[in-house]
Amino acid sequence: MTLESFKKEFENDGEIYRKELQPGQISFYPALTHCRHRSLQPTEFALISLSPEFVSIACCDMFALDSIKWARQTGISDSYAEIVCRALLKETLGGSPTGSMYAQSLATSLAGHLASQYGGTEVCSQQTNGGLSASQLKRSIEFVHLNLGEDVSLKKMAGAAGLSPFHFARQFKKSMGFSPYQFVLKQRVNKAKQLLLKGEKNLAEIAVDVGFYDQSHFAQQFRRHCGITPKKYAAQCGLTKARRERLS
* pLDDT tens-place values along the chain, 248 residues long: 788 887 888 777 677 878 888 888 888 887 766 667 777 778 888 888 887 777 776 776 566 655 667 777 888 899 998 999 999 888 888 877 666 778 888 888 888 888 888 776 555 544 445 788 888 988 998 999 899 888 888 999 999 999 988 889 989 988 888 889 888 998 899 899 888 888 788 889 999 999 988 889 899 999 998 899 988 888 877 655 545 455 55
For the chain, what is the domain count? Answer: 3
- Chosen domain end from 177, 198, 216: 177
141 and 44 together in one domain: no
| Strand ranges in 178-230 using DSSP code E only, listed in sequence order | none
4 and 118 together in one domain: yes
Residue 23: helix, strand or coil by DSSP? coil
Global confidence as pTM:
0.58
pLDDT recorded at residue 160: 92
46 and 109 together in one domain: yes
pLDDT recorded at residue 161: 92
Task: Give dist(CA 137, CA 105) in Å, integer.
Answer: 18
Task: Give dist(CA 15, CA 84) in Å, integer.
Answer: 32
164 and 200 together in one domain: no
What distance lies between CA 109 and its chain's CA centroid? 7
105 and 136 together in one domain: no
**Domain extent at residue 196:** 185-245
Q: Which residues pair with 20 in a beta bridge?
A: 7
107 and 26 together in one domain: yes
* Helical ranges in the chain per DSSP H: 52-59, 79-93, 100-118, 134-146, 154-161, 165-176, 180-198, 203-209, 215-226, 230-236, 241-245
